[in-house]
Structure 1
Amino acid sequence: MSRVDSLQECEDCVPPADAFSVVADETRLAILEALWQLETPARFTDVHDEVGLRDSAQFNYHLGKLTGQFVRKREDGYELRTAGERVVQAILAGSFTEHPRREFELDDPCTECGEPLAAEYEDETLAISCPACGHGHGEYPFPPGGFHERSDAEVLEAFDQRVRHLHCLAKDGVCPECNGRMETTIAREGDCCLGARVRAEHVCRQCHHELCSAVGLALLDQSDVVAFCDEQGIALSETPYWRFEWCVDDDPVTVESEDPWRLTVDVTAGDERLRVTVDGDLSVVDTERA
């Protein structure tokens, strides 16, 4: 079955082409944004006044086209359905209207050579790498709306938190894009943004969204790792992931077996080391202080 066929298999669903045609109108988008701004359920007159369309008949026509799929009508007014919320969120994120390009320097050193890192943003993806040696430190999706009213430092902080969130969901089997089932595999061949020989790859069975990362990135919220770093005076949740070699490289990773998968990740802090063993799903099976 093709990807297009799978989108059409729901008998009660509106065909995708029809659904997108419904919101391909300036007035209807204005209605969705008005319901996003107003306290809902909102009365017909309140939504009409917020949109500012003089012709009530035209407004009623467009609201009627949205009702059912994107807007829910209740006894006390109107409110957005999940599909309507997603349309507004995509607009606010800038995914439909903004295509910025941006470059900026970081104060953090490369984990490979120690030279300053740099970040580059293009095609809704933010990539961190070392200009001196070319070592990658992650390349992940970041909507354009994330730049609004943020300094460079604030953008990087937001990006760090987003990467943590994306991979936390992915390793737990939930697609961060569509909430479908995410499958994790360990890869040892092919190219990736990190240039890693051993990495984790997450692919959604439903929307085919993909993420790849160093194996250690999955440990940022692991309780034993957090406690270990706290003991060494490192606030793991407040330190950008790209400062840790075990989050951006495969040098700290040792493949103990492939059937079943067993990998050890050396989490280092100063002169201390925590050796973490994970399986093919990145679930922790053992920890050992060294």
Structure 2
Amino acid sequence: MSRADTILECEDCVAPADAFALVSDETRLSILEALWRLDDPVRFSELRSEVGVRDSAQFNYHLNKLTDQFVRKVEASADGDGAASGTEPAGYELRTAGERIVQAILAGSFTEHPRREIAIDDPCTQCGSELAARYDDEVLAIDCPDCGHGHGEYPFPPGGLHDRSDAEILEAFDQRVRHLHCLAKDGVCPECSGRMNTTIERAGECCLGTSLRADHVCEQCNHQLCSAVGLGLLDHSAVVSFYGDHDVALSETPYWRLEWCVDDESVTVLEENPWTIRIDISENEETLRVTVDGDLSVVDTERV
């Protein structure tokens, strides 16, 4: 069954084309943005004033189009809270769908297409030269200008560039990459929360610069991510404890500084059918050996 068929199975759902048509009007987008700014719930009169529409009937028409799908009407309480006269409900507030629309606008995904280059004062894990980052088409990529080794390229909304220095952008990108891939490895799609499946593949020509990669694909929305096989271990308790024992705060160490997150020289394939893979994580002459299976579930850890 295709994803389109799955969408149409829901009898109570609004068709995607109709849902997007509801927010194609400038006044309706202004209503959603106003509800985002103001404290919930917002009275009709206050909301109309905030949006700046003088005609009450016209404003009511647009608000009604959004209500139930993107906006929720909050009725007055039985004790007469705010609307005892019955002239209007206690107010209006955003539903989750309305929040998603405003978040997408603020993220810049629909309206912004910036490009940016950032120098990174960190060495390439392969040759030791300084890394560089480039931003284009909502993707931030890190690689080595000298040897060409890739250190990953991952989605990053344009809003992440707003009011941030280069260093702050890199810090935010690092945290986002950790979040995305640890969620994906745990089977949760970071876009729609659907079921995410993980498989191991021979990389071939790949932006990661590795010969082996983990592919994460959502069954529901088909969102896809790929990574070096070690990247999903950044939140594993044994790995975090290992670095902590060596006085290294793993959460504050950019993933591109960690060889096991950006290349596969520390990766050993023990079996291929089914996959059994060992990642050797070394620090101060001690090594943590982490063994994972074909969906990156940890099956064993050992310090040597």
**Which TM class, normalised by the smaller chain length?**
over 0.9
Matched, 1:60 2:60: yes
Q: Deviations over 1:32-81 (max 9, x none)?
A: 00111111111111111111111111111100000011111110211111
Partner residue in 1 for 2:287 = 273
Partner residue in 1 for 2:146 = 132
Instruction: List aligned pairs for 1:163-182, cutoff 5 A.
Output: 163-182=177-196
Matched, 1:198 2:206: no
Q: Deviations over 1:227-264 (max 9, x none)?
A: 11112221100010000000001111111112332110
Q: Segments of 4+ in structure 1 off by > 2 A?
A: 1-9, 189-192
Q: Which amino acid aligns with 1:278?
A: V
Partner residue in 1 for 2:255 = 241
CA distance in 2, matches of 1:120, 1:7: 36
Select 1:143's aligned residue among 147, 157, 171.
157
Question: Secondary structure at the residue paired with 1:69?
Answer: coil
CA distance in 1, matches of 2:220, 2:108: 24
- Give the number of equivalent residue pairs: 290
Q: Deviations over 1:157-205 (max 9, x none)?
A: 0000000000111011000001110000011144322131111110001
CA distance in 2, matches of 1:189, 1:278: 18
Partner residue in 2 for 1:83 = 97
Question: Secondary structure at the residue paired with 2:27?
Answer: helix
Q: Tell me the TM-score normalised to structure 2 length.
A: 0.93
Instruction: List aligned pairs for 1:151-230, cutoff 5 A.
Output: 151-230=165-244
CA distance in 2, matches of 1:168, 1:48: 43
Partner residue in 1 for 2:80 = none
Q: Is the 8 A contact 1:192 1:212 kept in 2?
A: no
Question: Secondary structure at the residue paired with 2:230?
Answer: helix
Q: Which amino acid aligns with 1:234?
A: V
Partner residue in 1 for 2:6 = 6
The structure that has the greater radius of gyration is: 2
Partner residue in 1 for 2:69 = 69
Partner residue in 1 for 2:85 = none
Q: Cα offset for 1:5?
A: 3.2
Q: Which amino acid aligns with 1:169?
A: L
Question: Secondary structure at the residue paired with 1:215?
Answer: coil
Q: Which amino acid aligns with 2:251?
A: S
Q: Which amino acid aligns with 1:165?
A: H
Q: Tell me the TM-score normalised to structure 1 length.
A: 0.97
CA distance in 2, matches of 1:205, 1:38: 36
Gaps of 5+ in 2: 76-89
| Backbone CA RMSD of aligned residues | 1.1
Q: Cα offset for 1:88?
A: 0.3
